[in-house]
Structure 1
Amino acid sequence: MNAPVVRSLLENDLYKFTMWQALLHRHPGAMAEYAFVCRNTPAFPLAELKVAVEAELDALCTMQFAQDELDYLRSLRFIKGDFVDFLTVFRFQRHFVTVETAGDALRIVARGPLVHVMGFEIFVLYIVNTLYFRRLGERDAVLDVARQRLAAKIASLKAAAPELADSGDFPFIAVDFGLRRRFSAEWHDEVLETLTREVPAFVRGTSNVYLAKRYGLTPIGTMAHEYLQAYQAFGSRLRDFQSAALEGWVQEYRGDLGIALTDVVGMDAFLADFDLYFAKLFDGLRHDSGDPVVWGDKAIAHYEKLRIDPRTKQLVFSDGLTVEKALDLHRHFRGRIRTSFGIGTSLTNDTPLKPLNIVMKLTHCNGQPVAKLSDAPGKTLCEDQTFLAYLRQVFNHTAS
């Protein structure tokens, strides 16, 4: 008998907590809908997981935060006391999330008050992922290969150590972003234990708040697409939603958590709104789609245009990274701007089995469709093609 997949409500990405707090304070009455999507072809129909997923969600909705977990959150200087008080009484409501099938596909929808349903996303993703991989292959053989691949990554970092030591004020920093699509909780634990033991100089944190607490690491994360997308439905002119979202963030965190996500309507449209005011207030930018070198060079050029020294700012790369790709990007930008690298699936699910490409995205807010216009083909998400076309027109964004 397997233990429940979710072992703690704290085992969520930090940016879920930071967005949750900001939206609770500024838009507590908003309503939302999130939908699960699998972007690739699984080894067996995900519809076969329906009963197991429902049982895991039943278990999730009985859980509460433990006192030591609440104390840990309260110790983070950017988490406010009233938000922790809210979490003290918070429970996921089972009637807000439904699990259905459509042919071979699994359909999971969370619908209800935004501050009650937004937290489902990461749990749903690693529940599905864990249940899926429990059914595939001989686990011992799979993990033997995974350990060999992890050892190769560590060897690459150790081999690059003399070069990286010469980086001076521009150190190489890697962060574990692998919660949502991990192979299993046990493997995630082993990966982080191994990395922090073998290459502690290079692995500085994790997005997984539970593991940050457990291993004494820095929890890392600021905002995701859903935060900015929600502002498409919060009453400002659509053209102004990015500025409104960034201003809301500034007012909530007042200097903390200063990395802004850029690709909700594309980098060019983002930079048009990221004026001197925001460029000075935010510490840097996060990349999540499109060519990372082109994106980073645009960011540097933008800072220079605003007469801001790029070397005082930071770029966070988080789109499908491997250790080797992160090292290459570090070499390209070293000395020009600070960098850090959020590495996900290639850390926590690099096995002989093909990973699932699954997401659970905000599709509606306050009864209106919302959308993400990606800089990468296949990542644009919206269920309403009329709204998508309008959003593209407003931001002069070409189809992708």
Structure 2
Amino acid sequence: MPIIPSLLDTDLYKLTMMQAVLHQHPGAQVEYLFRCRSPDVDLVPFLGAISDQIDALCALRATPEELDYLRGLRFIKPDFVDFLGLFHFDRKYVQLRANPDENGGIELRLRGPWLHTIMFEVPLLAIISELYMTGTFGPADREEGLRRIRAKTARLREAVGFEDCVITDFGTRRRYSHAWHGEVLPHLRAEFGTHFVGTSNVHFARRYGLVPQGTMAHEWLQAFQALGPRLRDSQVAAFDTWAREYRGDLGVALTDVIGLDAFLGDFDLYFCKLFDGMRHDSGDPFEWGERIIAHLQAHRIDPRTKTLVFSDGLDIERVMALYDHFRGRCRMSFGVGTNLTNDLGPKPLQIVLKMVRCNGQPVAKLSDSPGKTMVDDPGYLSYLRQVFSVEPPVPEASA
């Protein structure tokens, strides 16, 4: 039974970036690398099942109904829909084996044209997550999961002064299972009410009549470390190219690809006016929000006209604390992932599949949270820090 039933069972930002790649950099060649951040996890027993699911993924094609749905999204161009009508996953770009250097680890790499590999990340992570969770802990404990969902929705729904606090489902990549994800969403819509404004998952957005949400991910800015005119201008080139592609749509900028200091150094008055908001995905969110607000004010822009999107490991308590802290000072939106789609008792996997090379050159995600930095060339990471004047993290003192 295929875990991924549709090409649209992915996050919207994969499609929006893919469209931009088609139009702006169709010849780029890339490499992605899988990493499991959860300690003491043995994924090797699932290698055969993962391989079978990749074969099933490669058999998928977009249906006429799915293509018609995409044509109804104002920022999706007709030629891109036509391209998706021809697109399919190709197994030749996937390398999968046990990792000889990591006990219980797997080595998963993607190598090939960016245009033809960009869609692999989300379904591959969802496949690995589901096979591990259901294979280790059994089917989703529906009763416990719904009990937890009801407690979360009641907490926000019954709170006074949080009427404008809105949440989006960002939980595709590390969900417990496709089936559980599909069951959770109607409950969120029914019980969160107006607090629930959509999902990043395009398949479920279409299925349930929800608003699909998403703009760009880290790989868009990472790729420009190799595609841009020079490394120091890579973020500026990435934002410029995005604006040229979408002409005012999808205007939320990601801030943590090379760290917040580097982002603020590049995000000048032009970008502050051009983009509708910024998204947080690493580092302290309270400090981040204060610095974003101060940056906007320094450029004589009212922060209340911009949206701060928080999306890093959120639960409902964290959402409410952030909303309460920044209430009235800016617009806010909250992307909640694993805590909605994989909170049933067992600990979810912390897994990522990130771009590490573009056009033969190393690229990196230099996160504000050191554990989320992703690179396979330490020398390049040092060079990136030097170019953007980013200090390495201070080692923790030993006990």
Q: Select the residue among 186, 200, 211 that pairs with 1:193.
A: 186
Q: What is the identity, as a one-letter code, of the residue corresponding to 1:328?
A: A
Distance across 1 between alignment mates of 2:228 and 2:218: 18
Deviation at 1:136, TM superposition (A): 2.0
Q: Secondary structure at 1:378's aligned position in 2?
A: helix
Distance across 2 between alignment mates of 1:153 and 1:235: 44
Match of 1:38 in 2: 36
Q: What is the identity, as a one-letter code, of the residue corresponding to 1:81?
A: P
Distance across 1 between alignment mates of 2:32 and 2:172: 19
Deviations 1:291-327 (A, max 9, x none): 0000000000011000001000000000000011001
Which residues of 2 match residues 1-400 of structure 1 at below 5 A? 3-43=1-41, 45-102=42-99, 103-139=103-139, 142-160=141-159, 162-165=160-163, 171-400=164-393
Query: Relative to structure 1, is the Cα distance of residues 26 and 192 closer, same or farther in structure 2, using a 3 angstrom cutoff?
Result: same
Structure 2 portions without partners, runs of 5+: 394-399
Distance across 2 between alignment mates of 1:97 and 1:379: 23
Q: What is the identity, as a one-letter code, of the residue corresponding to 1:392?
A: R
Q: Secondary structure at 1:135's aligned position in 2?
A: helix
Distance across 2 between alignment mates of 1:101 and 1:354: 23
Deviation at 1:250, TM superposition (A): 0.4
Q: What is the identity, as a one-letter code, of the residue corresponding to 1:91?
A: H
Distance across 2 between alignment mates of 1:341 and 1:158: 15
Distance across 2 between alignment mates of 1:11 and 1:135: 21
Contact kept? 2:277, 2:307, Cα under 8 Å: yes
Deviation at 1:144, TM superposition (A): 2.5
Contact kept? 1:42, 1:356, Cα under 8 Å: no
Q: Secondary structure at 1:361's aligned position in 2?
A: strand
Contact kept? 1:34, 1:118, Cα under 8 Å: no
Q: What is the identity, as a one-letter code, of the residue corresponding to 1:29?
A: G
Q: Percent identity?
A: 54
Q: Secondary structure at 2:193's aligned position in 1?
A: coil
Deviations 1:302-354 (A, max 9, x none): 11000001000000000000011001101111100000000000000012111
Deviations 1:361-397 (A, max 9, x none): 0010000000011101211111101110000011111
Contact kept? 2:168, 2:336, Cα under 8 Å: yes
Match of 1:168 in 2: none
Distance across 2 between alignment mates of 1:305 and 1:195: 38
Q: Secondary structure at 1:175's aligned position in 2?
A: strand
Segments of 4+ in structure 1 off by > 4 A? Answer: none
Q: Secondary structure at 2:34's aligned position in 1?
A: strand
Contact kept? 2:154, 2:191, Cα under 8 Å: no
Deviations 1:135-164 (A, max 9, x none): 123436x3332222111101101221x322
Aligned length: 390
Normalising by structure 2, we get a TM-score of 0.96
Q: Secondary structure at 1:362's aligned position in 2?
A: strand
Contact kept? 1:369, 1:384, Cα under 8 Å: yes
Structure 1 portions without partners, runs of 5+: 166-170
Distance across 2 between alignment mates of 1:154 and 1:372: 34
Normalising by structure 1, we get a TM-score of 0.96
Contact kept? 1:10, 1:210, Cα under 8 Å: yes
Q: What is the identity, as a one-letter code, of the residue corresponding to 1:20?
A: M
Contact kept? 2:228, 2:237, Cα under 8 Å: no
Distance across 2 between alignment mates of 1:202 and 1:352: 25
RMSD across aligned positions (CA):
1.0
Q: Secondary structure at 1:85's aligned position in 2?
A: helix
Query: Relative to structure 1, is the Cα distance of residues 101 and 389 closer, same or farther in structure 2, using a 3 angstrom cutoff?
Result: same
Q: What is the identity, as a one-letter code, of the residue corresponding to 2:142?
A: L
Deviations 1:104-151 (A, max 9, x none): 1111111100110111000110000011112123436x3332222111
Deviation at 1:218, TM superposition (A): 0.8
Q: Secondary structure at 2:194's aligned position in 1?
A: coil
Distance across 1 between alignment mates of 2:111 and 2:12: 22
Deviations 1:70-95 (A, max 9, x none): 11111100000111111010111111
